[in-house]
Amino acid sequence: MRLIRYGESGAEAPGLWQNGRIVELRRHFPEIPDVGEEFFRGGWLERIGAISDDGEEMDVRLGPPIARPSKIICLGKNYIEHAREGHFEPPDKPLLFAKAPSALNGPRDPVVLPQSCGQVDWEVELALVIGREGKRIPAAEALDYIAGYTVMNDVSGREAQFGDGQWFRGKSFDTFAPMGPALVTPDEIEDIADLQLAAKVDGETMQTGNTGDLIFDIPYLLHYISEDITLLPGDVISTGTPAGVGIFRDPPVTLQAGNVVACRIEGIGSLVNPIVAG
């Protein structure tokens, strides 16, 4: 299944994406909650799997496919070549940081340049959404805790990220977490460890990579993170970005108003976000 949220920002409704058509889930289940913790705890992902509906064509905005996650956990330097392009040693253990959930943005929404920070950069990433609560999750069971996968652009304000001495502000400006276009359930993906990622700016390819090149794979990440942090349904884990970000180019390339950033992962879909002045 490809689970979406559609409608105006702050008033999205849950739906299914069926070959370009939208199934309105509240037509079948008026009581269905938004896609978040209550949705997964209530078993709604399994319940909607039985729907027989081809959907209809709708000209609507798509929102991020998850609403109000308790946390967005991100990985730094989780691809060897990305670590090397920044002249860093690959980490010995996962490097975790957080983005504010308020940074979430739709797959076609504008990314707004902050007034307090320059050197805004792109990072295409595979993100996963937790489907059931877990703590001290065994790596061998980790994939059973995943509701689905999506694309995230970990947009980064490099001046704040490097100038503050920690990453939270530079990673959490409003609109800095475009996500979507859908939450794709694991049965739709043949091999999560062999997916191509790419990011383009104004049509020029900047990043390419493969999820098989992750330093720390998804089962290990869930095991490591959940050792002393409880993962809740709806939580997002974004697994890191491959080489090709703008700040480490010679000379650096950073985003300006008028640019368009497209992030794609095979089997999942694309984000296409215009950059606008704040």
- Could you say which of 37, 63, 89 is where a domain stops? 63
Of the residues 12, 34, 63, which one is the last residue of a structural domain?
Answer: 63
| 66 φ/ψ angles, rounded to the nearest 5 degrees | -130, 140
Residue 107 pLDDT exceeds 90:
yes
Is the pLDDT score of 83 beyond 90?
no
Whether the per-residue pLDDT at 89 is higher than 90: the answer is no
Kindly report, residue by residue over 138-152, the tens digit of the pLDDT.
999 999 999 999 999
- Read off the pLDDT of each residue in 45-61 and give the average, rounded to a whole number: 93
Q: Is the pLDDT score of 277 beyond 90?
A: yes
Checking if the pLDDT of 65 tops 90, the result is yes
Same domain, 146 and 94: yes
Give the domain range for residue 28.
2-63
Residue 273 has what pLDDT?
Answer: 98
Mean pLDDT of 205-229: 98
pLDDT of residue 257: 98
- Average pLDDT of the chain, as a whole number: 97
Of 41, 97, 37, which Cα lies nearest the Cα of 67?
Answer: 37
Q: Residue 79 is part of a domain; what is its CATH number?
A: 3.90.850.10
Predicted local confidence at residue 123, as pLDDT: 98
Q: What's the whole-number mean pLDDT along residues 85-102?
A: 93
Residue 241 reports pLDDT greater than 90: yes
- Please tell me the predicted confidence (pLDDT) of residue 84: 87
Say whether both 128 and 213 belong to one domain: yes
pLDDT at 36: 98
**Same domain, residue pair 13 and 94:** no
Residue-level pLDDT at 136: 98
Claim to verify: residue 160 and residue 225 sit in the same structural domain: yes
Domain count, the chain: 2
Residue 269 tokens, joined = 């879909």
- Residue 126 pLDDT greater than 90, yes or no: yes
**Claim to verify: residue 168 and residue 236 sit in the same structural domain:** yes
Q: Do residues 133 and 225 both lie within one domain? A: yes
Band (pLDDT 50/70/90 cuts) for residue 50 is confident
- The residues with which 134 forms a beta bridge, in sequence order, are 231
Same domain, 123 and 170: yes
Please indicate, yes or no, whether residues 35 and 83 belong to a single structural domain of this protein.
Answer: no
Asked whether 178 and 271 are in contact (CB, 8 A), the reply is yes
Distance CA 83, CA 162 (A): 15
Q: Domain ends where: 10, 31, 63?
A: 63
Altogether, the residues listed in the chain come to a count of 278
Same domain, 23 and 92: no
pLDDT band at 180 (very low <50, low <70, confident <90, very high): very high
Apex 252 CA angle, 249 and 253, nearest 5: 100
Q: Are residues 104 and 44 in the same domain?
A: no
Supply the pTM of this predicted model. Answer: 0.97
Using CA atoms in the order 78, 79, 85, 86, what is the torsion angle rounded to 10 degrees?
Answer: 0
Residues 186 and 157 in one domain: yes
Tell me, yes or no, whether 225 and 91 share the same domain: yes
